[in-house]
Structure 1
Amino acid sequence: MIVGTVWKLVPLLLGLIGEQPGAVSQSVTRLIVQDEVILRIPIQPRPLLPEIEWVETKGPKCIPAAAIQRVLLSGPQQVDFVLGNHARIRAQFDEDCPALDFYGGVYLQPADERVCARRDAVHSRIGGSCTIERFRQLLPRLRH
């Protein structure tokens, strides 16, 4: 009788192991639901003592969705995308964007394989969204 009880608890124990925060991978997750692609992108924490100042220059109209590796919170009206080649692109939101909680990660639903300004939006886990107004290329410069 004890053996039967133990076997019933095995799925529960495996479920608890799978829910531990350290076991979850921090990478871009791609989910396809009825021909609709949804990307979940994890948030990377900011460094405590930034030694690099990021200078904004003119950015592209679109970026490849597959190149996005991480997102950094850079302000209430913007987030920074870190690409696979370590380039940084700042997505600035339109003015009527509410201050959203992006701490748990962001979601993108690109219409094709690109994320484009004035077309696509960044979604938070609580359901709000902000349309990307424009992209700015970020270039590193050492602080003096």
Structure 2
Amino acid sequence: MHQRIIIRIPRIRDPHVTMMREKPVRWREKRADKCHRVSDFVGAAITDDHSVDLMLRNGDRLRAKLGSDCPALDFYSGFYMLPGEDGKICARRDSIRSRAGGSCEIENFRQMVAER
């Protein structure tokens, strides 16, 4: 018996953009773990040409870096993630799949920290 779970990650408005129009938030990237539990993801925002920002339950932001041949613009209509048997999404192992049918491997994750 095989079981397959596909997780749809909804696009959300970036609260840092809508709440702080006068002064946009500057983000600094820090090192992040290679794997993350898919149950921690609650939404996503596309803020860069080759990455997708994932919002976590605890309020943190995680950037999934995609290959240079894989523009994030393809993911504006939404995307799916297929976790491994361990229930995690891992860089260099898993992909993000667009609703239009494309697929991009996650090269790495970066923790995003707002500079105040």
Q: TM-score, normalised by structure 2?
A: 0.85
Shift of 1:99: 5.1
Amino acid at match of 1:117: A
> C-alpha deviations, 1:58-88, integer Å up to 9, x for none?
1110111000000110212100110000011
Counterpart of 1:45 in structure 2 is 13
Structure with larger RCO (C-alpha < 8 A, sep 6+) = 2
Percent identical pairs in the alignment equals 39
> Hey, what does 1:130 align to over in structure 2?
104
Amino acid at match of 1:90: R
Report how many aligned residue pairs link the two structures: 109
2:7 partner letter: L
* 1:20 aligned partner: none
Which of structure 1's runs of 4+ aligned residues deviate more than 4 A? none
Question: Which residues in structure 2 correspond to 1:68-87 (within 5 Å)?
Answer: 68-87=41-60
DSSP-derived class of the 1:66 partner: helix
Structure ranking higher in helix proportion: 1
In structure 1, how many angstroms separate the alpha carbons of the residues matched to 2:78 and 2:98?
A: 7
Q: Which shifted more, 40-49 or 125-134?
A: 40-49
User: How far did residue 94 of structure 1 move?
Assistant: 1.8
Match of 2:61 in 1: 88
Higher Cα Rg, which structure = 1
Unpaired segments of 5 or more residues in structure 2? none
State the AA in 2 paired with 1:136: R
TM-score w.r.t. the length of structure 1 is 0.70
SS of equivalent residue, structure 1 residue 51: coil
Counterparts of 1:1-144 in structure 2, within 5 Å, are 35-46=3-14, 47-48=17-18, 49=21, 51-98=24-71, 100-112=73-85, 113-142=87-116
| Post-superposition offset of 1:100 | 4.3
1:28 corresponding residue in structure 2: none
Pairwise CA RMSD: 1.6
